[in-house]
């Protein structure tokens, strides 16, 4: 008798799983169609607390940004307002039933960029029995932006950035700072050239420069309830005293970690600082690429 009951339970469990699998296929199919046509009904398919991560990749370098609960849905709302649609099809889609959820995986074919990016989503029923997307990981093509500042220097920054013009600053005692900045969907970027009319670049300690840019940002973050975490400051490449790599992490009240990270580089003429602020995971390879692309004009 016990064996019979156990067998019936297995059959019932399989039936529920099969029903969920069918429903998940229906929900994801609607998601893809609605996304393609900027249909606002797509919001009904995404849980309010949906989380995930955004991966930008060029096949070698990856920049990963964690998407906290609620932010994925906000991103869809912003996309709907742009009314650009999504012509990129989901292909090689596979479904897998789990104990209380269904995972969907495959690739997104980015037509314009000729790029194939893996994706994964988790669909799960809410308390009302409605199946919705609760987690999403999507890989996007990683572009790059050539940046030129004050006709003094240029570099290539991975990602899509919109630059902002800035005037030079005379800070006294023969010292001048040439600032610049840029923004993207994943954070902000700053870059400066520093000249000292009284001393040579070699007379300065490069490890003092990260705090110049990070200090005010950390102060503001802590005023908002953030908690400063242990920083790192060291050589970008072993043995090269003219390049410094730094990271200053701050944990916010919502446990999301914001990072201020970048590089300081010294030449015979000036000292340059390039830094980013955002929630993307820090990748030293990114800054190695930036350093390789850097040129004085």
Question: For 146-160, how does the pLDDT look when each residue is reduced to its tens digit (9 = 90+)?
Answer: 999 999 999 999 999
Residue 7 has pLDDT above 80, yes or no: no
What is the structure's pLDDT at 132? 95
What is the structure's pLDDT at 5? 41
The band of 17, judged by pLDDT with boundaries at 50, 70 and 90, is low
The band of 283, judged by pLDDT with boundaries at 50, 70 and 90, is confident
Question: Rounded to 5 degrees, what are φ and ψ at 245?
Answer: -115, 135
Q: Is 50 within 8 Å of 69 (Cβ atoms)?
A: yes
Q: Is 74 within 8 Å of 43 (Cβ atoms)?
A: no
Residue 136's nearest CA partner among 227, 50, 8, 226 is 50
CATH number of 144-296: 3.40.1000
The band of 161, judged by pLDDT with boundaries at 50, 70 and 90, is very high
Residue 26 has pLDDT above 90, yes or no: yes
CA distance 117 to 139: 5
Question: For 211-249, how does the pLDDT look when each residue is reduced to its tens digit (9 = 90+)?
Answer: 999 999 999 988 989 899 999 999 999 999 999 999 999
- Give start-end residues of each CATH 3.10.450.50 domain in the chain: 2-141
pTM: 0.83
Question: For 86-110, how does the pLDDT look when each residue is reduced to its tens digit (9 = 90+)?
Answer: 788 999 999 999 988 999 999 999 9
Residue 2 has pLDDT above 50, yes or no: no
Residue 6 has pLDDT above 50, yes or no: no
Residue 9 has pLDDT above 60, yes or no: no
Residue 56's nearest CA partner among 68, 42, 46, 66 is 66
Question: For 52-82, how does the pLDDT look when each residue is reduced to its tens digit (9 = 90+)?
Answer: 999 999 888 998 988 889 889 998 998 888 8
Residue 114 has pLDDT above 90, yes or no: no
The band of 18, judged by pLDDT with boundaries at 50, 70 and 90, is low
- Give start-end residues of each CATH 3.40.1000 domain in the chain: 144-296
The domain defined by 2-141 folds into Nuclear Transport Factor 2; Chain: A, (3.10.450)
* Residues of the chain above pLDDT 70, percent: 94
What is the structure's pLDDT at 127? 86
Comparing 21-30, 58-67, 117-126, 245-254, the range with the smallest average pLDDT is 58-67
Please state the rounded mean pLDDT for residues 181-205: 92
Mind giving me the DSSP string for the chain? -HHHHHHHHHHHHHHHHHHHHHHHHHHHHHHHHHHHTT-GGGGGGEEEEEEEEEEEESSS-EEEEEE-TTHHHHHHHHHHHHT------EEEEEEEE-SS-EEEEEEEEETTTTEEEEEEEEEEE-TTS-EEEEEEEEEEE--EEEEEETTTEEEEEES--EEE----EEEETTEEEEEEEEEETTEEEEEEEEEESSS-GGGS-GGGHHHHHHHHHHHHHHHTT-EE---EEEESSTT-TTEEEEEEEEE-TTSPEEEEEEEEEE-SS-EEEEEEEESBPP-HHHHHHHHHH-EE-
What is the structure's pLDDT at 260? 95
Please state the rounded mean pLDDT for residues 173-196: 93
What is the structure's pLDDT at 122? 96
């Amino acid at each position: 008798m016990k064996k019979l009951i156990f067998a019936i339970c297995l059959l019932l469990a399989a039936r529920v799983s099969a029903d969920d699998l069918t429903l998940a296929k229906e929900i994801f199919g609607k998601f893809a169609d609605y996304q393609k046509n900027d249909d606002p009904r797509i919001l009904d398919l995404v849980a309010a607390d949906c989380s995930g991560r955004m991966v930008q990749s060029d096949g070698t370098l990856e920049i990963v940004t964690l998407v906290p609960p609620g932010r994925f849905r906000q991103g869809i709302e912003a996309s709907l307002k742009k009314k650009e649609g999504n012509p990129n099809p989901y292909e090689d889609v596979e479904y897998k039933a789990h104990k209380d959820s269904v995972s969907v995986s495959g690739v997104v074919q980015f037509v314009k960029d000729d790029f194939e990016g893996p994706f994964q989503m988790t669909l799960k029923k809410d308390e009302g029995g409605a199946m919705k997307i609760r987690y999403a990981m999507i890989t996007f093509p990683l572009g790059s932006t050539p940046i030129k500042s004050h006709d003094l220097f240029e570099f290539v920054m991975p990602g899509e950035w919109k630059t902002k013009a800035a005037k030079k600053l005379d800070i006294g005692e023969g010292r001048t700072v040439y600032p610049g900045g840029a923004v993207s969907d994943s954070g902000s970027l700053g870059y400066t050239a520093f000249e000292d009319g009284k001393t040579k670049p070699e007379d300065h300690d490069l490890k003092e420069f990260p705090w110049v840019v990070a200090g005010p940002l950390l102060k503001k973050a802590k005023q908002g309830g953030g908690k400063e975490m242990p920083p790192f400051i060291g050589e970008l490449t072993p043995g090269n005293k003219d390049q410094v790599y730094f990271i200053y992490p701050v944990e916010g009240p919502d446990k999301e970690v914001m990072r201020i990270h970048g590089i300081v580089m010294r030449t015979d003429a000036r000292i340059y600082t390039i830094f980013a602020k955002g929630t993307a995971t820090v990748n030293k390879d990114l800054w190695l690429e930036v350093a390789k692309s850097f040129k004085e004009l």
